[in-house]
Every structure is written in structure tokens, then in C-alpha cells.
């Protein structure tokens, strides 16, 4: 029986080669897309899966009146471990302020992500460096490690675990340090580094007013998170009072602690945007939708072929075949097609995965044992076979022999409505993706062209190891830089507009206190970035007190303080009083997703990190010659980096803030193409069947004088109504979906009408082309040949 069923299935598939090809092709494309998306979603949602007790590890964040921040004092971790028995382990992490060169003989590696971590934190994250994790003897001696790639580059022939001496920074500076070995940097972790320093303890001697560290805790099983947050908040407030803060101040009253789960940090941290999480959820929904559309396409085509199988069913029922046997036969045919589609989809996914990895910057591979595909993929095939084949099998096996053998077979009205409904669903999905793609593209275009409050073009961000917190130390370097032809401005600051958050502190004007971001800058900062001064003036060497107590507020800070004429007023924060000399235009330094924060710019700030971020503005026409001159003269300008002159263009750095949106644009492009392609394949086969079943009607109409245009109108009218209905359903869905997505941006477009009209016009145009091509083929047939046996 099995061999007979297999023969019948293969013969039927071969007999209807075109429809079979469309079914298998559509399913294989959908399966390839679904497979890649599920691999990506699995990768993105399993960060730090190897960390012991991952579900019990949290990052300690501070909740401020206006925002949340992951930055905490170094002393907080040790205080928590000493005071709260529910906390099993703590860890403290800090990002180094420098990028530097590591040199061994004639080989050099340039670090870009230097990280410091205490020994307890290294144990919490289960770091396993070469030679084993060793606890440093004291706070002054730590273990310095490099990433696997860096270590292999510098020591290609090393086989033992003995420390190696390397030069850090300029060779002429002569600063050396021992490298303990390689510490594998897991790319699948929120803890990233290419150079790592394991210390006995971080921030020794620092108080609770220095919030430059990340604190992690692992709690004991069964710990109540909400209760623990309340206990830590109470402990933190007491520590602030003990450090000298006024118990009645808003700084103490509003202080609150949030425990952010480790498995949330990558996609939806409490202190940042959840846009990456929304993107992953949207991708998962997209993958499932594409698979559903392919199943719908399969179902629709199978039902459309029902008339061609009616006599076969009638004869087999007369010969004694039970309905259950017939249903099994049709399910077997569908399973065979799904099996072929799965094999082809697997091949497509393997071919597409390098491009997919390049777009999403992930290291995915199709390895059955690692990704669980060995058991997941068969389940997917079985699910698709049942989802796509259950209803057609019930319909086909339910034909009545007496009716179909007399030749008056006709599918039920319910089946016809189902076919039309499935077709509408397919085109609704296609229209949603087309409109969404155009809206995402419009938002991206807006972010690229809208005024950011500063100009990043022609500005070089130079890697630097020297500290220029004192303006007098940077003045000689500035003079040398400005002496290079083509260099217009040069400055140094603690922060640049690259999307990173600035430090924050409480500042007060006339008794009103708000949490304010601070940036410590030098002369020419606003000129280098072309940030307009809307009132007052910029910092100038002509005013000697600017380096001591002058401040410039941005427009957002002025609005939050409720000032109408801020120039000349006093503002106090970080234990220092400043005089406001100007107001700068708001700069979208964190991108378009977050609103501009109130910010104060000063040239001297005790709360700020060291000034190490050098910015150089260069004339576009002299860019190449200026860069060559900078490279040549850098050893004398900046001895800390010496011969290692490295730079990046600021507009490229800022452009990385749009990377997720660019990924989403590419995803929607692929989704729109796939859904339209699958819908068109289904429409092609359905129109081919429907028009083929009306050949005699076409012949009669032609004999009675119907013209080609009238016949085209006749056949297109029904399909156009379905497509227009699909667009009417798609418009509110796309609007709501895009409205939710755009809600993640502080600065966004208003949704225009054009994307919806464009989706409608495109789907209508493709429908006209597809249906007309089939109708034209049928109309060219001779009426005599069609009607000669009637």
C-alpha cells in the first residue's frame, strides 16, 4: 500500500509540474527565511547563557527623577556583599578611558575596548583566562590580559603560560607592562573587551559621589527581587548620608535602585532603549508570518486543484477506498513536497547565511547539533505538512462519488470563500510590509538629513592617551595642530557626540535643582562641532575666568530650569559655582531615539572624567594632505601616542547609531520581496487554474463578439476587488505597527500617506500583470478548437 501511495503521489506531482514547483519553491524560500530568523532570534536571546546562575545575576542600576543609569559607585558592590546575606556574589566593572597600542617587537595591536574588572566580577562572569584565573595580591598589582586575536597576533609561536613584557602606547614613551596571557572574550556576552585588567578591587578609596562603575550581583536562589531592591535602596540612601549628603535633599529622597536581570541587558536594559528587543520580536513575528503565508499559498493551490482530483477520488471511493485512507494519501503527497522544500530551504539558508551574518554582524552557522536543528527541523516539517495539508486533505477526500462521476462537480461556497480569504490575507501581509518598508526608509532619511544641532562632517576623532584636563596642557598641541594647512579647529573634551551617555550630577539655579548631564570641554569645542550659540558667547581665551568658572547650558537645560534670560546667572553643582556665559543649541549627541538631555558644558569640572577625546576639523579640499601631515607630525604633537596616529571620521561614528534601523530596513526589504513573491506565485497558479477552467466560457464570449479588453476586464475585476480589500485591511495594520515602532524615537516623522498609496499601486499593478498574462494566453486559443466537441 505504501508503494502504491508513493507512486500515485509522485505521478500527481509530476503531472502538475508547475504547481508543484510553485509549492516547493514558495515553501523552500519561506523555510530558509524562517530558519535564518529563528537562528538569529535564538542567538540574540541567549546572551551570557554560560554565566553560572544567569537567571540570578542582575546589574545594579540607579533610578533618577528623569532617567535611569547603570553607573554606580565602586564602593556599592562591597557594601552590598557585606550587608545583605541574600547577595551571593558581586562584581565591579569599569571601561578604560583610552584606546592604546600594544607592541611586541615589530608587531602591534590597537585596542579599542579596554575593560577593568575586579577578581570577584571575573569569577561571577566565569572568565577563564589562559593559565587560570588568579587573584591579584593587592590593589596595585593586577593581571593584564589580551583577547585571543590580540594575543595570537603578538605571540604567534608562544606555547607556555609565562608572562610576556609588552610596550603600551608609543614606543618612545617606554611604558611597559606584563601580559599574563589570553582571556577569551565571549562575543555572546554583554561583557566585551579586547584588553582586560583583572584587579583585586576597583575604586579603592573612592566614595559614593564617583559614579563611574558597573556593579553586578548574583543573589541566592529564592530571593525576592522587589524586597531586595527596597533593601538596597535603603542601604544606598544611608551611604549617601554617611558620605555627607543632606538627608532632606532630593538627591537622597529620590535615590532608588533597580536590579536589571542579566538576560535583559543586551536587548532591553532598564536604563536604555528597548528598540533592539522590538526588532527581535518583529523579526520572529516576520519569520512566522512568512511561513504562514507560504502554508496559505500551499493550501490555496491545493484547494484550487480540487476539481482535477475529483474523478480520481470518486473512482477510488467506488473501488472501496475509505475517506481516512484518501486523507492519508493526500497528506503523504503534501509531506513529500514539504520534505523536498525543507531540503531546498536548508541549502538556501546555507548559501545565504554569510550575507545574513554580514548584515546583522553575528556568527551564525547551520550546525544541527549546536543549534538544535537535528530535532527542530523535523518538527517544523511535520507542522507545515499538517498546517498546509490538513484542510485540503479533508476537502479532497470528502467528494461524493455520485456527483463527481456524473461530471457536475463544483466546490462549495465555503471553499470558494476560503480561497478568496487566504488570497486576501497574503496580499494584506504584502501591503503591510511594503508600506512599513517605505516608512522605515523615510525615518532613516529623516535621521540622516535632519538638523542634529551639530555638524560631524570633516571632523576627525583622534585616538589619544594623554590627559588634557588642564587647558594649558592642550594649548601647545592646539597651536601645532592649527599650524597644519587645512586644520580649521582643534579641541579636546570628555565626551563626543557618538551616542554614549555623559556623566550626570545635580545642578541648582535659584533653588531649583535638576539632574543635568555634564561635558568638560576646551576652547573651540562648539566651533569644531559647529554647535550654534543661541545667546551669550562661547568659551574664549580672551576671558581669563572661562577656564575656572564659566559654563554654557544647552536649550533643554534652560527650559528645564525655567529660565528666560540665563546669561549671567549662577549655577551650582559638583561642589562648584559657575557663571553662565552662553546658551548652546541642543545637540542630538545620543541620536534620535532619546530626547536631548539637559546639559552643562564647562572647562573645569571636578565630577568629570579626564579630557582625552581630541576632535580636529579639517577643510574638505585639504583632507588628504592634512591627514598625511598629522600622521607625520603626531610624535612631536602627542608623545603619548607617538608614531601611532589613529583617527575615525566623526560622521561615521555617529552613523553607527542608525545601524539597527538600517538592519530593519533591509529586513523589511527582504520581507516585502518574499511576501510579494509568494503572493504572486500563488496568484499566478490560482489565476492559471481559474482561467483554465473557464476556457469554454471564453470561447463562447469570443464567438458572441466579446473583445480582448472586455475579457481582460472580466477576469481582472474579481482579483482587483480582493487586492483592494487587502490594502484596506493592510493600511490600519501597517499604521498601528509603524506608529508603535516610531514611538521608540524622540525625534520622528509623521506617518505620510504616500507609503500606503504606493503599496496599493504596486500590488494592483502586479496583480494586473499576473492575471492579464494568464488571461491573454487563454484568449489566444481558437474558439473552434475549444468548442468543437460541444
Could you read off the pLDDT of 465-517 as tens digits, one per residue?
788 888 999 999 999 999 999 999 999 999 999 888 888 888 999 888 888 88
Q: What is the mean pLDDT of residues 337-351?
A: 86
With 90 as the cut, is the pLDDT of residue 760 above it? yes
Least confident of 428-437, 532-541, 709-718: 709-718
First and final C-alpha spacing in the chain: 40
Average pLDDT score, the chain: 83
Instruction: Provide the pLDDT confidence category of residue 11 given band limits of 50, 70 and 90.
Output: low
With 90 as the cut, is the pLDDT of residue 688 above it? no
With 60 as the cut, is the pLDDT of residue 716 above it? yes
Question: What would the grid cell of residue 715 be?
Answer: 477576469
The answer to whether 478 touches 490, Cβ cutoff 8 Å, is yes
- CA distances for 261 relative to 53, 219, 271, 309, 555, angstroms: 11, 11, 12, 57, 35
Q: What is the mean pLDDT of residues 534-540?
A: 95
Distance (Å, whole) CA 758 – CA 771: 20
The sheet carrying 164-168 orders its strands as 107-110, 101-104, 164-168, 176-179
- CA distances for 661 relative to 157, 269, 435, 656, 665, angstroms: 43, 18, 16, 10, 6
pLDDT at residue 67, rounded to an integer: 73
Instruction: Provide the pLDDT confidence category of residue 244 given band limits of 50, 70 and 90.
Output: confident
With 70 as the cut, is the pLDDT of residue 386 above it? yes
With 60 as the cut, is the pLDDT of residue 787 above it? no
In this prediction, what percent of the chain has a pLDDT beyond 90?
A: 35
pLDDT at residue 343, rounded to an integer: 86
Least confident of 257-266, 377-386, 407-416, 450-459: 407-416
With 80 as the cut, is the pLDDT of residue 781 above it? no
Q: Closest Cα to residue 387, out of 307, 297, 322, 304? A: 297
Q: What is the mean pLDDT of residues 219-234?
A: 93
Least confident of 112-126, 133-147, 611-625: 133-147
DSSP state of 342: H
Distance (Å, whole) CA 438 – CA 734: 11
pLDDT at residue 395, rounded to an integer: 62
Least confident of 144-153, 562-571, 676-685: 676-685
The answer to whether 250 touches 90, Cβ cutoff 8 Å, is no
Q: What is the mean pLDDT of residues 291-310?
A: 69
pLDDT at residue 34, rounded to an integer: 86
pLDDT at residue 403, rounded to an integer: 54
With 80 as the cut, is the pLDDT of residue 361 above it? yes
Question: What would the grid cell of residue 1 be?
Answer: 500500500
CA 11 centroid distance within chain: 47
Q: Closest Cα to residue 345, out of 387, 373, 386, 305? A: 373
The answer to whether 537 touches 582, Cβ cutoff 8 Å, is yes
pLDDT at residue 695, rounded to an integer: 67
pLDDT at residue 32, rounded to an integer: 87
pLDDT at residue 609, rounded to an integer: 80
Least confident of 90-94, 168-172, 185-189: 168-172
**Would strands 181-182 and 143-146 be described as parallel, antiparallel, or unpaired?**
parallel
With 80 as the cut, is the pLDDT of residue 302 above it? no
Among 37-46, 325-334, 454-463, which range has the highest average pLDDT?
454-463
pLDDT at residue 630, rounded to an integer: 93
pLDDT at residue 513, rounded to an integer: 84
pLDDT at residue 38, rounded to an integer: 86
* HEC assignment per residue over 139-152: CCCCEEEECHHHHH
With 70 as the cut, is the pLDDT of residue 96 above it? yes
The answer to whether 239 touches 79, Cβ cutoff 8 Å, is yes
With 70 as the cut, is the pLDDT of residue 745 above it? yes
Q: What are phi and psi of 95, to 5 degrees?
A: -85, 130
Question: What would the grid cell of residue 75 be?
Answer: 564602593
CA 120 centroid distance within chain: 31
Q: What does pTM read for this prediction? A: 0.79
Cα atoms in the 13 Å half-sphere on the side-chain side of 451: 6
Torsion sign across C-alpha atoms 257, 262, 268, 271: positive
Residue scoring higher pLDDT (32 or 698): 32
Amino acid at each position: 500500500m505504501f508503494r502504491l501511495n508513493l507512486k500515485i503521489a509522485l505521478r500527481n506531482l509530476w503531472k502538475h509540474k508547475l504547481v508543484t514547483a510553485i509549492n516547493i519553491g514558495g515553501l523552500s524560500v519561506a523555510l530558509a527565511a524562517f530558519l535564518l530568523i529563528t537562528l538569529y532570534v535564538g542567538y540574540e536571546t541567549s546572551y551570557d547563557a554560560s554565566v553560572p546562575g544567569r537567571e540570578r545575576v542582575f546589574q545594579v542600576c540607579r533610578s533618577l527623577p528623569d532617567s535611569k543609569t547603570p553607573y554606580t559607585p565602586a564602593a556599592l558592590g562591597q557594601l552590598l556583599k557585606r550587608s545583605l546575606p541574600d547577595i551571593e556574589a558581586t562584581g565591579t566593572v569599569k571601561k578604560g578611558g583610552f584606546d592604546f597600542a600594544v607592541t611586541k617587537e615589530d608587531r602591534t595591536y590597537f585596542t579599542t575596548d579596554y575593560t577593568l574588572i575586579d577578581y570577584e566580577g571575573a569569577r561571577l562572569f566565569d572568565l577563564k583566562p589562559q593559565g587560570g584565573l588568579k587573584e591579584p595580591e593587592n590593589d596595585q598589582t593586577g593581571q593584564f590580559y589580551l583577547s585571543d586575536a590580540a594575543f595570537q597576533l603578538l605571540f604567534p609561536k608562544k606555547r607556555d603560560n609565562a608572562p610576556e613584557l609588552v610596550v603600551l602606547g608609543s614606543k618612545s614613551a617606554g611604558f611597559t607592562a606584563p601580559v599574563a596571557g589570553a582571556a577569551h572574550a565571549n562575543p555572546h556576552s554583554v561583557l566585551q573587551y579586547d584588553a582586560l585588567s583583572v584587579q583585586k578591587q576597583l575604586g579603592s578609596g573612592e566614595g559614593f559621589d564617583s559614579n563611574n562603575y558597573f556593579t553586578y550581583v548574583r543573589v541566592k536562589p529564592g530571593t525576592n527581587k522587589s524586597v531586595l531592591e527596597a533593601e538596597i535602596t535603603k542601604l544606598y540612601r544611608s551611604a549617601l548620608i554617611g558620605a555627607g549628603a543632606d538627608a532632606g535633599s532630593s538627591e537622597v529622597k529620590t535615590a532608588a535602585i533597580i536590579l536589571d536581570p542579566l538576560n535583559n541587558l543586551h536587548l532591553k536594559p532598564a536604563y536604555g532603549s528597548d528598540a533592539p528587543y522590538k526588532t527581535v520580536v518583529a523579526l520572529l513575528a516576520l519569520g512566522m508570518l512568512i511561513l504562514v503565508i507560504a502554508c496559505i499559498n500551499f493550501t490555496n493551490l491545493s484547494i484550487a486543484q480540487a476539481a482535477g482530483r475529483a474523478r480520481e477520488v470518486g473512482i477510488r471511493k467506488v473501488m472501496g477506498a475509505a475517506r481516512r485512507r484518501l486523507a492519508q494519501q493526500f497528506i503523504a503527497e503534501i509531506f513529500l513536497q514539504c520534505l523536498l522544500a525543507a531540503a531546498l530551504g536548508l541549502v538556501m539558508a546555507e548559501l545565504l547565511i554569510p550575507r545574513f551574518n554580514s548584515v546583522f554582524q553575528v556568527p551564525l552557522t547551520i550546525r544541527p547539533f549546536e543549534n538544535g536543528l537535528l530535532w527542530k527541523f523535523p518538527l517544523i516539517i511535520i507542522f507545515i505538512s499538517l498546517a498546509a495539508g490538513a484542510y485540503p486533505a479533508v476537502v479532497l477526500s470528502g467528494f461524493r462519488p455520485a456527483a463527481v462521476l456524473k461530471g457536475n462537480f463544483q466546490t462549495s461556497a465555503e471553499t470558494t470563500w476560503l480561497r478568496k480569504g487566504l488570497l486576501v490575507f497574503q496580499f494584506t501581509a504584502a501591503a503591510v510590509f511594503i508600506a512599513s518598508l517605505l516608512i522605515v526608509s523615510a525615518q532613516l532619511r529623516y535621521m540622516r538629513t535632519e538638523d542634529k544641532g551639530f555638524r560631524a562632517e570633516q571632523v576627525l576623532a583622534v585616538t589619544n592617551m594623554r590627559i588634557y584636563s588642564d587647558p594649558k596642557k592642550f594649548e601647545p598641541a592646539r597651536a601645532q595642530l592649527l599650524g597644519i594647512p587645512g586644520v580649521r579647529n582643534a579641541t579636546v573634551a570628555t565626551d563626543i557626540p557618538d551616542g554614549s551617555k555623559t556623566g550626570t550630577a545635580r545642578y541648582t539655579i535659584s533653588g531649583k535643582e535638576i539632574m543635568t548631564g555634564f561635558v568638560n570641554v576646551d576652547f573651540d569645542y562648539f566651533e569644531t562641532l559647529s554647535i550654534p550659540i543661541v545667546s551669550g558667547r562661547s568659551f574664549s581665551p580672551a576671558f581669563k575666568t572661562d577656564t575656572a568658572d564659566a559654563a554654557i547650558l544647552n536649550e533643554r537645560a534652560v527650559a528645564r530650569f525655567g529660565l528666560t534670560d540665563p546669561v549671567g546667572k549662577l549655577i551650582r553643582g559638583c561642589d562648584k559655582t559657575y557663571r553662565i556665559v552662553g546658551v548652546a543649541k541642543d545637540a542630538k549627541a545620543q541620536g534620535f531615539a532619546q530626547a536631548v538631555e539637559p546639559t552643562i558644558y564647562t572647562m573645569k569640572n571636578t565630577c568629570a572624567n579626564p579630557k582625552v577625546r581630541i576632535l580636529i576639523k579639517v577643510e574638505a579640499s585639504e583632507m588628504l594632505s592634512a591627514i598625511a601631515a598629522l600622521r607625520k607630525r603626531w610624535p612631536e604633537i602627542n608623545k603619548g601616542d607617538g608614531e601611532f596616529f589613529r583617527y575615525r571620521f566623526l560622521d561615521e561614528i555617529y552613523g553607527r547609531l542608525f545601524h539597527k534601523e538600517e538592519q530593519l530596513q533591509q529586513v523589511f526589504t527582504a520581507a516585502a520581496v518574499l511576501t510579494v513573491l509568494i503572493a504572486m506565485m500563488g496568484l499566478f497558479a490560482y489565476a492559471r487554474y481559474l482561467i483554465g477552467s473557464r476556457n469554454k466560457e471564453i470561447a463562447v464570449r469570443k464567438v458572441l463578439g466579446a473583445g480582448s479588453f472586455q475579457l481582460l476586464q472580466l477576469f481582472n475585476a474579481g482579483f482587483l476587488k480582493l487586492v483592494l480589500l487587502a490594502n484596506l485591511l493592510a493600511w490600519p495594520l501597517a499604521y498601528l505597527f509603524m506608529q508603535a515602532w516610531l514611538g521608540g524615537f524622540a525625534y520622528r516623522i509623521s506617518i505620510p500617506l504616500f507609503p500606503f498609496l504606493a503599496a496599493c499601486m504596486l500590488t494592483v499593478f502586479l496583480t494586473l500583470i499576473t492575471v492579464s498574462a494568464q488571461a491573454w494566453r487563454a484568449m489566444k486559443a481558437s474558439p473552434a478548437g475549444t468548442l468543437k466537441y460541444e
